[in-house]
Structure 1
Amino acid sequence: MNRRFAIKSTILAAGVAVAAACAPMMESEPDIVDIAASNGNFNTLVAAVTAAGLVDTLKGEGPFTVFAPTDAAFAALPAGTVETLLMPENIDQLTAILTYHVVPGAVTSDQLAGQRLSVATVNGKEVHIDGRNGVTVENATVTTADIIASNGVIHVIDAVLLP
């Protein structure tokens, strides 16, 4: 009886191993960059992150909270600002602006509700967040909150934050 059980267990284990090997690979949840790149509202942000060499960082383990300005937010900057920031000689300024939009850790809107906070960004400077009536970050309003990525959270904002 023990031998029959052992044989059945071996066959079962072999079947599970074969099924696992034949099953299609499950794709992991998209990361912050993948989500931004697949959303038609963040073309300028993705171009800026690429120009600043921050893609690998924002595809990293994290977790990060990103306050992501839309294309419309970038378009609201004075004429020529985005083009100037994307020039190779301005990479340090671009990096400073982009990292000012990133907070270490995954912070969801329910954690911000009802609070006023000053939070250190990856840039090293603090942003002021007010969660008492919706959520604002400095002069920007969070228009869509809690887009969950494999390595953090994205909150869509309607203005570019300038350190």
Structure 2
Amino acid sequence: MKKLFSVVMLAVLAAVSSFAPKTSSVHEVEADIVDLAVSTEFLSTLVAAVKAGDLVDVLKGDGPFTVFAPTNEAFAKLPAGTVENLLKPENKAKLVQVLTYHVVPGKIMSTDLKNGQKAKTVQGSEITVTLKDGKAMINNATVTNADIVASNGVVHVIDTVILPSM
């Protein structure tokens, strides 16, 4: 379970709209979810959270994982002090719950998404997919960049941090 939590955190960090992953061929991707996230400046808050939640090793695991990765701007939309509080060692369990809510086991490409679809997250709760006007939403977050393929899964960048019921 700890490995899955780590995967969720790293996957969120990996979502990026302006990177080109290293490939040795058209179909083989060398960078894992964590490596992709670390190389993306607009995912730096996610990366810090994944590190604080000790989820790096999980997200570097075999997978496959689907990560819905919130940007720095998405984290900035949270109420003042939320991110800082989640990063405190005493709130690690809560942080892991939030991060793993952004990770779904398996590799789900945007073409696999269906309107009204539910998917169980690594955290244990479900997320809901809504398709409208050519846009995909995960709960209340819009997918801004889809299908970023990593060696151990796929990342979809989202504009809002999605929060599980706690």
- Letter paired with 1:128: T
SS at match of 1:83: helix
Alignment of structure 1 residues 128-139 onto 2, 5 Å: 128-133=128-133, 134-139=135-140
CA shift for structure 1 position 130: 1.4
- Letter paired with 2:122: V
The alpha-carbon distance between structure 1 residues 147 and 28, as it changes in their structure 2 partners (threshold 3 A), is closer
Deviation string for 1:95-131 (max 9, x for gaps)? 000000000000000111x532111000000001113
Compute the RMSD of aligned alpha carbons: 1.4
The question of whether the paired residues in 2 share the 8 Å contact of 1:63 and 1:152 is answered with yes
SS at match of 2:91: helix
CA shift for structure 1 position 158: 0.2
Give the corresponding residue for 2:146.
145
The question of whether the paired residues in 2 share the 8 Å contact of 1:146 and 1:154 is answered with yes
Give the corresponding residue for 1:154.
155
* Long gaps (5+) in structure 1: 1-25
* Long gaps (5+) in structure 2: 1-23
Give me the TM-score of the superposition, normalised by structure 2: 0.80
Name the % identity.
58
CA shift for structure 1 position 132: 4.2
Comparing 145-154 with 126-135, which one deviates more in the overlay?
126-135
Q: Distance in 1 between matches of 2:110 and 2:84?
A: 32
Which structure has more relative contact order (CA 8 Å, sep 6+)? It is: 2
Q: Distance in 1 between matches of 2:131 and 2:50?
A: 27
